[in-house]
């Protein structure tokens, strides 16, 4: 009796464990016969989606190793063009100059993202118009009181010229206008978020997909920088996110790109605040 009881109990425990295991996505099946390493670098907006995919793939297939690093869009394009990484991420299209230098580059767009002006949550500013934004970043306006805020100097934060986030903000929000030389330069969306969260009088910008409660997005011409407004076209500061390869990707890299472009990738893209192109 005891033996039958223990046998039944073990079977029940096994079945309960088995039935509660996470389902393996059919989209991961394409990696079954593959092994090797994928090195990814470039745009920092891409990192959460890339790491999601890497974690799921490596958990299911330990013989596959995927590294994900930042550096900015220009760095991603340069590294993949020079064969230093397998995928170079960029938050902007490859420029004609880059394409002349690396003519074998192939781009794979996978998401749309917006770029939002941001301030510290303690800042009372909730909206700036296009002219005010341009005048602040060019240095013509240097005190928050001139745009309805506190009597305090505005601390400008920006990204370096390798950044795709900077490129779209500079082009679509600043109309390619000047950025003051005194601007504090930060290396990534994450670093921008930390800097603005710690500076009450800061003004910067970052990917909408990276926003959280530690910073406050500022409406542009009374249009909130949300993904919903990016989708319907009312918010104009948007860009596509690209994966780039140097020539046709090898089978393992191709499978990774297909995974990002598939249903699992779309779920991850949406969860991290971006708009899937699927």
pLDDT score for 25: 58
Q: May I ask the CATH class of domain 114-238?
A: alpha beta
Structural tokens at position 244: 């780039």
Q: What is the pLDDT of residue 219?
A: 98
Residue 217 structure tokens: 């997005």
pTM of the predicted model, to two decimals?
0.79
What gap in Å lies between CA 202 and CA 199, rounded to an integer?
5
Q: What tokens does 205 get?
A: 């910008």
The Cα angle at residue 264 between residues 207 and 76, in degrees rounded to 5: 45
Residue-range domain boundaries for the chain: 28-112+241-276, 114-238
pLDDT tens digits for range 33-45 = 999 999 999 999 9
Does the domain at 28-112+241-276 match CATH 3.50.50.60? Answer given as no
Position 9 pLDDT exceeds 90: no
Q: What is the percent of the chain where pLDDT is above 70?
A: 91
Closest Cα to residue 192, out of 44, 34, 79?
44
């Amino acid at each position: 009796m005891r033996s039958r009881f223990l046998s039944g109990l073990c079977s029940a425990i096994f079945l309960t464990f088995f039935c509660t295991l996470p389902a393996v996505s059919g989209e991961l099946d394409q990696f079954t016969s593959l092994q090797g390493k994928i090195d990814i670098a470039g745009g920092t907006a891409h990192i959460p989606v890339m790491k999601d995919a890497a974690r799921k793939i490596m958990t299911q297939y330990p013989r596959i190793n995927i590294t994900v690093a930042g550096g900015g869009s220009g760095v991603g394009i340069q590294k993949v063009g020079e064969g230093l990484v397998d995928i170079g991420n960029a938050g902007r299209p490859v420029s004609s100059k880059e394409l002349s230098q690396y003519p074998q580059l192939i781009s794979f767009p996978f998401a749309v993202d917006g770029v939002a002006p941001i301030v510290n949550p303690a800042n009372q500013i909730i909206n700036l118009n296009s002219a005010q934004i341009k005048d602040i970043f060019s240095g013509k306006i240097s005190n928050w009181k001139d745009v309805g805020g506190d009597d305090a100097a505005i601390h400008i934060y920006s990204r370096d010229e390798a950044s795709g986030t900077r490129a779209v903000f500079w082009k679509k929000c600043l109309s390619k206008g000047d950025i003051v030389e005194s601007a504090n330069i930060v290396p990534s969306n994450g670093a921008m978020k930390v800097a603005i969260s710690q500076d009450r009088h800061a003004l910067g910008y970052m990917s909408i997909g990276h926003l959280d409660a530690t910073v406050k997005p500022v409406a542009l011409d009374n249009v909130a920088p949300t993904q919903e407004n990016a989708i319907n076209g009312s918010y104009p500061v948007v860009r596509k996110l690209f994966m780039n390869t140097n020539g046709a990707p090898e089978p393992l890299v191709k499978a990774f790109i297909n995974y990002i472009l598939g249903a699992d990738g779309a779920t991850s893209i949406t969860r991290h605040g971006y708009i899937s192109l699927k």
